[in-house]
Amino acid sequence: MITIKLPMNPQINIILLGTGGGRFATITQKRRTAGIRIISEGLNFHLDPGPGALVYSINEGLNPQKLNAVFVSHGHPDHYTDAEVLIEAMTKGTTKKRGVLVASRSVLHGNETGLNSVVSKYHQQMPERVIEASPNKKFQIGNINVSVTEARHTDPDTVGFRFETSEFGSFAYTSDTEYFEGISKYYEGIRLLILCVMRPSGKPWKGHMTTNDAIKIIEEAHPEQAVLTHFGMQMIFKGPAREAKLIEKETDVPTIAAKDGMQIRFGETISLQKSKKAKQSLNKYF
Ligand SMILES: [Zn+2]
Ligand SMILES: [Zn+2]
């Protein structure tokens, strides 16, 4: 029997399992809060597993036992609640020491804002490696070089992440942050920028990103594509798609408001696909 080996496609698939953020979007689930799954050849990681990460992973056919890294940007529930169960999945129900946990200081140790270590010490022992993420730290996971970016948020230990691929350049995730001078230097030369735009234009809130903040970051960093996610209630009511249009008009950077289940293919080109069972197009990984 001849087996035909199809050429492997090294493109990176980014699945927005959830696009909601903040307390009221979370407790009402107006938008899901399941975070982002990033999958490529030999690489499978979850970014900010808020409430619903486990359930929507399974629902979308993305087996959490295939994870090799869990990233938690800070110690707020819309970013961390499902981290422990995903670590249990990644470590095959705690029977195998495997995978990497990348998390902010607040997540690992707690901080002066009253947060405890929100991933228990017990769960911190399960992965093969635990990396405390602080701005400018660099490390490698699989064939991706990760650098930690700075964020300014109500959890002072919050960080974002920048992912460099050898073939296709880089993409990044800002996490919750306000605009500050110097933020864009972390995203220079980026191709795809995913921003946590909690609030619409004209609704400033210290430590959180509004459409106006996003415009400044995108104008300065000038990515090839911007994707907005992590919408709070006011943003949801105002209409994220309208806010994306406003950003695009102001910056000339193609900008899309993510929808739950949306998939981004990051390769030579960046393509966006509306919600679809992720597994149908990712079959080879499962
Ligand atoms: Zn948040
Ligand atoms: Zn937060």
The predicted-structure confidence for 159-212, as pLDDT tens digits, reads as follows 999 999 999 999 999 999 999 999 999 999 999 999 999 999 999 999 999 999
Is 205 inside a domain boundary?
A: yes
138 alpha carbon to ligand 1 midpoint, in Å?
A: 23
pLDDT tens figures, 20-59: 999 999 999 999 999 999 999 889 999 999 999 999 999 9
Quick one: CA torsion of 97, 278, 71, 264, rounded to 10 degrees?
A: 140
Task: Give the DSSP H/E element, type plus range, for residue 16.
Answer: strand 12-16
176 alpha carbon to ligand 1 midpoint, in Å?
A: 5
95 alpha carbon to ligand 1 midpoint, in Å?
A: 31
pLDDT band at 6 (very low <50, low <70, confident <90, very high): very low
Is 285 inside a domain boundary?
A: no
22 alpha carbon to ligand 2 midpoint, in Å?
A: 7
Is 170 inside a domain boundary?
A: yes
Judge whether 275 and 260 are in contact, CB under 8 Å. yes
Instruction: Beginning with the edge strand found earlier in the chain, give each strand of the sheet holding 263-266 in spatial order.
Output: 129-132, 100-103, 69-72, 43-47, 36-40, 12-16, 263-266, 270-273
Residue-level pLDDT at 284: 52
Is 201 inside a domain boundary?
A: yes
Can you give the pTM of this predicted structure?
A: 0.94
208 alpha carbon to ligand 1 midpoint, in Å?
A: 8
pLDDT tens figures, 264-286: 999 999 999 876 665 566 655 55
157 alpha carbon to ligand 2 midpoint, in Å?
A: 10
Q: Which numbered ligand comes closest to the C-alpha of 22?
A: 1
Is 280 inside a domain boundary?
A: no
74 alpha carbon to ligand 2 midpoint, in Å?
A: 7
The CATH number that applies at residue 16 is 3.60.15.10
Is 3 inside a domain boundary?
A: no
Q: Give the chain's radius of gyration (CA, Å).
A: 18
3-class state of residue 221 by DSSP: helix
Q: Domain span at residue 261?
A: 12-271
76 alpha carbon to ligand 1 midpoint, in Å?
A: 7
| Axis-axis angle for helices 211-221, 240-251 (nearest 10) | 40
27 alpha carbon to ligand 1 midpoint, in Å?
A: 13
Residue with tokens 């035909």: 4
Q: Which numbered ligand comes closest to the C-alpha of 78?
A: 1
Residue-level pLDDT at 9: 57
Is 139 inside a domain boundary?
A: yes
Q: Which numbered ligand comes closest to the C-alpha of 155?
A: 2
Q: Which numbered ligand comes closest to the C-alpha of 79?
A: 1
pLDDT tens figures, 65-83: 999 999 999 999 999 999 9
178 alpha carbon to ligand 1 midpoint, in Å?
A: 12
- What is the identity of the amino acid at 1? M
Please state, in angstroms and as integers, the Cα–Cα distance from residue 174 to each residue in 90, 130, 166, 171, 190, following that order: 24, 21, 21, 10, 12
Is 231 inside a domain boundary?
A: yes
Residue-level pLDDT at 7: 46
Q: Which two three-digit tokens encode residue 273? A: 């696909």
Longest dimension (CA), the chain: 65
Does the pLDDT value for residue 3 go beyond 90? no
Specify the DSSP class assigned to residue 20: B
pLDDT tens figures, 212-237: 999 999 999 999 999 999 999 999 99
Residue-level pLDDT at 281: 60
Q: Which numbered ligand comes closest to the C-alpha of 76?
A: 2
Does the pLDDT value for residue 4 go beyond 60? no
153 alpha carbon to ligand 2 midpoint, in Å?
A: 7
Region of 252 (left: φ > 0; alpha: ψ -120 to 50; beta: rest) is left
What's the total number of domains in the chain?
Answer: 1
Q: Sort strands 192-196 and 36-40 into parallel, antiparallel or unpaired.
A: unpaired
Residue-level pLDDT at 285: 54
243 alpha carbon to ligand 1 midpoint, in Å?
A: 18
Judge whether 41 and 59 are in contact, CB under 8 Å. no
260 alpha carbon to ligand 2 midpoint, in Å?
A: 19
